[in-house]
Amino acid sequence: MGGVAWTEEEDHLLKKCIQQYGEGKWHRVPLLAGLNRCRKSCRLRWLNYLRPNIKRGNFAEEEVEMIVKLHKLLGNRWSLIAGRLPGRTANDVKNYWNCHLSKKLNAMEGEDRSQATKNVEVIRPQARNIGTSSSMKRRRGIQGESSSPIESDLLAQQEISGMSSTMSFDADGQSHHNMLESQLENNIYSCLEHQDIVGELPMDFRFEGGVEEIINAGEGSSGQWDWDDLLLDMDLYKDFATN
DNA sequence: AACTTATCCAACCGCCGCTAC
DNA sequence: AGTAGCGGCGGTTGGATAAGT
């Protein structure tokens, strides 16, 4: 393996420790469990292997389709992709992509490219280009370097990120709810119009948890909601609705 | 059967943002 | 403001195994 393989005994100790003390506080886990492993190894072993309800074995056809769609939307953000696939870990998804899908898709893209001389490709804006200031920063140097966005797309990113980074929620009570909700919807739709997404969106679209959840989430310390999730939900909804 | 090459995937590494001090 | 420590993430490594010659 890439490092020293875990023994059954180590697995048992780690499981026992997590059951007793719960997840989190990984820096204490090696000591509490009596393991000669670093905090990161413990966390990874738990998340990728020992955690309950982890699905093992081959990926189903629907899962593969989902991965391809999500990867189009999110790029190499494996934890977000895995979050939409119950029982699958980010590492599983990443490995599957690297071993199976990337080659397959590259081959397909190669075929497409040979026909592309006649067809003008319409580049649909990607949800991953929009985010809160924090999530934009988090992705710095990850997605941006691996892809080669066209110039106009970059300009659109700058516009949108400016808008979304100023969009924060400071709801301090029910009295603000309606105002915030309509303001939120306006902001969402005006942002999405920039990305040419909303025009195709069915009127009955609802993302997970509804607008209420976004406003509640905004009451936390950061006061900002993750745009990626919203846009991903919208894109997925639209994608599945049209297929 | 013996050897080489390709593939898979668990584990590690380095970086990042956040938080507390 | 600076810094140390933390959790979390994506990229990479390398040993095990399968497939090919």
Domains of chain A: 8-50 (1.10.10), 61-115 (1.10.10.60), 127-242 (no CATH)
Q: Which residues contact A64 (CB under 8 A, 6 or more apart)?
A: A96, A101
pLDDT digits (tens, 9 = 90+) for A17-35: 998 888 878 989 998 999 9
How much of chain A, in percent, has pLDDT values that exceed 70? 41
According to the model, what pLDDT value does residue A4 have?
82
Q: Nucleotides of chain C within 7 Å of a protein C-beta?
A: 5-16
Mean pLDDT on A69-98: 88
Residue–nucleotide distance: A51 CA to C6 C1' (Å):
21
pLDDT digits (tens, 9 = 90+) for A143-177: 333 333 333 333 334 433 333 333 333 333 333 33
User: The tokens 């993302």 sit on which residue?
Assistant: A207
**What is the rounded CA–CA span in Å between residue A80 and residue A138?**
13
Nucleotide nearest to A26 (CA to C1'): C7
Q: Nucleotides of chain B within 7 Å of a protein C-beta?
A: 7-19
Residue–nucleotide distance: A115 CA to B16 C1' (Å):
40
The 10 Å Cβ neighbour count of residue A176 is 14
According to the model, what pLDDT value does residue A46 have?
92
pTM of structure: 0.60
Please compute Rg for chain A using Cα positions: 21
CA A119, distance to chain mean position in Å, is 31
More confident residue, A162 or A76: A76
How much of chain A, in percent, has pLDDT values that exceed 90? 11
A3 touches strand B (CB under 7 A): yes
Mean pLDDT on A92-108: 78
- Residue A41's SS3 state is helix
The 10 Å Cβ neighbour count of residue A18 is 18
According to the model, what pLDDT value does residue A105 have?
67
**What is the rounded CA–CA span in Å between residue A86 and residue A53?**
8
Q: What is the DSSP letter of A98?
A: I
**What is the rounded CA–CA span in Å between residue A126 and residue A150?**
12
A71 touches strand B (CB under 7 A): no
Query: Taking all residues of chain A, what is their mean pLDDT, rounded to a whole number?
Result: 62
User: If DSSP states are collapsed to H, E and C, what string results for A118-152?
Assistant: CCCCCCCCCHHHCCCHHHHHHCCCCHHHHCCCCHH
More confident residue, A154 or A111: A111
pLDDT band with cut points at 50, 70 and 90 for residue A238:
low
- Label residue A15 exposed, middle or buried (CB < 10 Å: 0-12, 13-18, 19+): middle
A77 touches strand B (CB under 7 A): no
Residues with CB under 7 A from strand C: A 1-2, 24-28, 39-40, 43, 76-80, 90-91, 94-95, 98, 142, 146
User: The tokens 């069915």 sit on which residue?
Assistant: A202
pLDDT digits (tens, 9 = 90+) for A168-223: 333 333 333 344 444 444 555 455 444 444 444 443 444 444 444 444 443 333 33
Mean pLDDT on A111-132: 38
